[in-house]
Structure 1
């Protein structure tokens, strides 16, 4: 256990159990960590304070706002560090969310952002022709993505005045931000100076994800695809599924496809263990939570593993992700080569687990966050007490 300057930490909002896993790491290192989130809806991930919206209609928003006023706000004060999961940390309209943000900022020692999902600034980065992000769920090499073709108003909604104003308010007042992915780190550079940005990565509880024992040679490759209803186009699930079905159709005796949809978090992980190769995201530079969990199990993953990402984290040797370009042909070729060369699956899986331990172990990610938070607190002269507290030599 480590405990250098014990901190009381509130992690507000969550996605794919990111904050929940980060909190586990922070506690292991001797700090107090509280997660306030909606649990990812059907994922039902762990949280200490439930900030979920019970109904999707206006009544649900009113009920959550009243619950905040009457019960929740008292539980979310007096922390040394608060980090919100982007501007979508709570399911309320921007003006309500901003009021909660301002309350948290005024009644806690410091305010940070965990850049772990889409926000207005990230969308702006994705559609900027000068951005190093050449493809995303919003734009493919300068052209409209399938998601934006299907939802023509999506970008304008993210860039609406209320959302942009709220996002700008966060960047103007937060003490800093920690990025989960290479792409989010790039986007943060639009709005924050370098000293207010740190790369944390995605925390994976490797201790809980014991590796699967894969044979040296696999007779029939099992592909695994987790579908999230309503997010097929965003994740590129439609393209990956079509390519996987085509490969299985060509090699029916050598490959099969397992598909699961909208399962609770723990059940989903259990089902994943039965696979050899997990199909994750199409439009990503960086392996995200699903891919990293598969790698921790010693499975192969098809996802973002772009050269830009490996360069960003300084990794020259371990590059185990089966990286695909964002198109059908690239996915088909990658899956076909996996079926034709099953002897590569086990060593690639072993390298994948080593990669996760090296770069995404939840204690490593927790230490990165702690170091950044503590450095920012010291730089701001808030070494103890609430905002404006004095430092002691």
Structure 2
């Protein structure tokens, strides 16, 4: 089949492409270059107004006219790519707003690409109307909106609240009328979609373990704890709570641990920086693992991330054997860190089991096969 993947988050579509190509399918990715992460894209969509004077000019124009120059030039790039973005058998959009444009322009881009092709599907793997509404209505015990609801509104755009605005709600309904169906990438998106008529099921994040070398951990001196921060998502990911937990544990075990903290690194640099780590602090307000956590687990790291009881039940596993559930409480996280520091053999056990879990449930070839089956069953 000829497959077009629209948009990119956390390398999901790249890994899916690699799996699909091994199965002899022709796959193309078109996406905006993802800021500092800089993932590979076949047809990159460039942003002109991100920095300096042009950014200031764009913001002024938008303030007084509600015209977004960035969105307009992104749409022009898509139109110019029409010959290369047409006649695909399957199209999958990574999000309801795959290019981070205004709702009006996203609708126009969606309609253009849909008109040029057949069989349009949607992924729920990042903030969108259904997941944000579910969180806003407090149907989760805690969620990415918890920091916002608690008054930590550092960068409002990072919470995805725009999806609750009337124009994005309209965009959501427009897209859902047109798509064949929607697929969730993990339990954080699966749970809000349950019983939706367009929901086609959960396909776990595809991880290319062949690119992620597993090296058995060795603890010869200090236990290395890695904390990677994306400044734009500082509160949303719970980085403030992780930092509080690290302060507690550093005060108690400074002679036994080494803490590495980095901020907003490009993807290829980021994934190398935690190579020496034994433990990785990923995110707090999640029920399941995202891409960063899974890649670290694949490399044998003990990851503090989403590993809630719903995830334990879904995969039929025991607590603290694959990943450590990072609850939104610094003392609880510090207690879990202390348990690992005092029982280093547990770090080695979890490391091996984490890699095995990713190979079993997130293998990119198996996931690609599941996407193909889902698409083919609903075309």
TM-score, normalization by structure 1: 0.87
- Determine which of 105, 109, 124 is the counterpart of 2:133: 124
Q: State the distance in 2 between where 1:208 and 1:338 align.
A: 28
Provide the residue aligned with 2:212 in structure 1. 209
Provide the residue aligned with 2:278 in structure 1. 276
Alpha carbons of 1:149 and 1:231: their partners in 2 closer, same or farther (altered >3 Å)?
closer
Q: How does 1:300-311 map to 2 (within 5 A)?
A: 300-311=302-313
Provide the residue aligned with 1:67 in structure 2. 77
Provide the residue aligned with 1:24 in structure 2. 18
Q: Deviations over 1:328-361 (max 9, x none)?
A: 1221111121111112111110000000000111
User: 1:137–1:145: 8 Å Cα contact kept in structure 2?
Assistant: no
Q: Deviations over 1:196-251 (max 9, x none)?
A: 42211111110010112312x45311000111112100100111122113212211
Matched, 1:296 2:298: yes
Alpha carbons of 1:83 and 1:155: their partners in 2 closer, same or farther (altered >3 Å)?
closer
Provide the residue aligned with 2:61 in structure 1. none
- Determine which of 139, 143, 147 is the counterpart of 1:136: 143
Matched, 1:157 2:162: yes
Q: How does 1:3-152 map to 2 (within 5 A)?
A: 7-56=1-50, 57=58, 58-69=68-79, 71-129=80-138, 131=139, 133-139=140-146, 144-148=149-153, 151=156
Q: State the distance in 2 between where 1:273 and 1:338 align.
A: 18
Provide the residue aligned with 1:189 in structure 2. 194
Matched, 1:170 2:180: no
Q: Deviations over 1:258-296 (max 9, x none)?
A: 011111111111111111101001001001111111111
User: Cα distance, 1:23 vs. partner?
Assistant: 0.7
Q: State the distance in 1 between where 2:284 and 2:151 align.
A: 12
Which stretch shifts more, 340-349 or 151-160?
151-160
User: 2:215–2:300: 8 Å Cα contact kept in structure 1?
Assistant: yes
Q: State the distance in 2 between where 1:151 and 1:64 align.
A: 23
Q: Deviations over 1:159-206 (max 9, x none)?
A: 11000110111122210111111010122236x327x42211111110
TM-score, normalization by structure 2: 0.90
Q: State the distance in 1 between where 2:157 and 2:122 align.
A: 29
User: Cα distance, 1:151 vs. partner?
Assistant: 4.1
Aligned residues: 363
Secondary structure of the equivalent of 2:236? helix
Q: Deviations over 1:102-132 (max 9, x none)?
A: 1222221100011110012211111224x3x
Unaligned runs of 5+ in 1: 1-6, 378-393
User: 1:305–1:319: 8 Å Cα contact kept in structure 2?
Assistant: no
Alpha carbons of 1:33 and 1:269: their partners in 2 closer, same or farther (altered >3 Å)?
same
Which stretch shifts more, 51-60 or 120-129?
51-60
Alpha carbons of 1:154 and 1:42: their partners in 2 closer, same or farther (altered >3 Å)?
closer
- Determine which of 322, 333, 336 is the counterpart of 1:331: 333
Unaligned runs of 5+ in 2: 51-57, 59-67
Q: State the distance in 2 between where 1:303 and 1:95 align.
A: 35
Secondary structure of the equivalent of 1:118? coil
Secondary structure of the equivalent of 2:231? coil
Alpha carbons of 1:313 and 1:137: their partners in 2 closer, same or farther (altered >3 Å)?
same
Provide the residue aligned with 1:346 in structure 2. 348
User: Cα distance, 1:375 vs. partner?
Assistant: 0.3
User: Cα distance, 1:253 vs. partner?
Assistant: 0.8
